[in-house]
Structure 1
Amino acid sequence: MTMTTKFARTSMLAAPLAIVAGMATAGGLAEPVETPAPVVVAPAPVMMGNDWTGFYAGGQLGYGKLDPSVDTDPSEPDGVIYGVHAGYNYDFGSVVLGGEVDYDLTDISLDTPDSDLDGVLRAKAKLGYDAGAFMPYITAGYAQAQTSDDLDDDTDGAFAGLGMSYMMSDSLILGGEVLQHQFEDVADAADVDATTLSLRASFKF
């Protein structure tokens, strides 16, 4: 075999090796392809609202103050109020409509004229906003003041006010309420405004 033939065969073998080496140096074969790690996206939290629909009943305890249109002693009699209530709410989603009846006994008395406010009966309409566990609401309706002694009478009137309810659990609701009442011609003697503030606890059925 001549020297020329050996050189030709060596060149034919070296050429492919040089091409492969060049590709490896350039990253064509030796460099692995990196796959990006999958990104795990946490699901967005789902806000769960409370359902205020249903019957409820409970009790209330609070404070009341009278503002008669005539001079009395004391001039603005006040005292403790306490009673019971029952009602029904229907939750439309954001809006809650309801109706309620409640009755308060009181220890509010006047020395002059000698009279007692024995109780207040109310029939309420309520319009609330479903804010989850909280429900602020407005309320208004019919009220009847029951008085005795010198002002012995049952006097019809009206009231309006604001309230807030908080659903502690599916069956327990706590809240508070401020109401402003107007009674005209109590025992044909005087007009009386009354303000009440009460804390409430209700059991939902």
Structure 2
Amino acid sequence: MKRFATPALVLGAFALTAPAFAGGYSEPVVEQPAIAPAPVAIMTDTDWTGGYAGATLGYGWGDDALDDADDMTYGVFGGYNYDFGQFVLGGELEYLGSDIETGASELEDMTRLKLRAGYDAGPALIYGVVGAAYANADIDGVSYDDTGYTYGLGVDYAVTDSVNVGAELLQNEFDGFDDSGSDLSATTLGARVSFKF
């Protein structure tokens, strides 16, 4: 009887433990915690109050005494803005050199004193411009200078707390330019970069 009991017990024990060996041993899966992506800094609230200075590079084209004239413009500017919340008011002085010319006439440069008023859209400032412009020009080989007016639209975008990029489209009008017998007008479109301080 003992001969049959021992093998029967061994076979019974093996039958009970066989399912444990069926798939072999595998380590339990440990779930790793999810790694959150690094936060991206998005400027949602920009204070436009303060002084700034920068440079502009653009293109211009003329009319009247500068009819069919077009070429590059370049310059420097500085100003101050005050942020009232959603409304921003500021002033700016700009010197703009010009290569706008035809065979007979050339706009040499302009100095513009501008009033800027706009909407604070967080990192963007959308504004309108009105102001005075002083220009030097050659018309039919004679040098003239006169004061006129400028108006237009612009936008600035705050890349950081101290660096802004933007663009400005301005119309510049000089009626009866320095008694030359001609009106003079020029449209300028400039890309701008400025540093706030």
TM over 0.5: yes
Aligned counterpart for 2:108 among listed residues 118, 125, 132:
118
2: CA distance, partners of 1:60 / 1:151: 28
- Higher Rg of the two aligned structures: 1
Residue 177 (structure 1) aligned with residue 165 (structure 2): no
Residue 119 of structure 2 aligns with which residue?
129
**Deviation (angstroms), 1:184:** 1.5
Query: Contact 1:155 / 1:184 at 8 angstroms: preserved in 2?
Result: no
Alignment root-mean-square deviation, CA: 1.6
Aligned counterpart for 1:82 among listed residues 68, 74, 80:
74
2: CA distance, partners of 1:130 / 1:77: 36
Residue 109 of structure 1 aligns with which residue?
101
1: CA distance, partners of 2:147 / 2:63: 16
Query: Contact 1:83 / 1:105 at 8 angstroms: preserved in 2?
Result: yes
Residue 63 (structure 1) aligned with residue 59 (structure 2): yes
SS in 2 for 1:109: coil
Aligned counterpart for 2:129 among listed residues 139, 152, 171:
139
Residues 17-39 of structure 1 deviation map (CA, whole Å, 9 limit, x = unaligned): xxxxxxxxxxxxxxxxxxxxxxx
1: CA distance, partners of 2:194 / 2:164: 5
TM-score by length of 2: 0.74
- The one-letter code matched in structure 2 to 1:108 is I
1: CA distance, partners of 2:83 / 2:158: 13
2: CA distance, partners of 1:182 / 1:167: 30
Identical aligned pairs, as a percentage? 44
Query: Contact 2:112 / 2:131 at 8 angstroms: preserved in 1?
Result: yes
- The one-letter code matched in structure 2 to 1:140 is V
Residue 27 of structure 1 aligns with which residue?
none
Residue 38 of structure 2 aligns with which residue?
none
- The one-letter code matched in structure 2 to 1:144 is Y
**Deviation (angstroms), 1:48:** 4.7
SS in 1 for 2:52: strand
TM-score by length of 1: 0.71
Residue 92 of structure 1 aligns with which residue?
84
**Deviation (angstroms), 1:116:** 2.3
Query: Contact 2:163 / 2:196 at 8 angstroms: preserved in 1?
Result: yes
Residue 49 (structure 1) aligned with residue 35 (structure 2): no
Runs of 4+ in structure 1 off by over 6 angstroms are none
Residue 148 of structure 1 aligns with which residue?
138
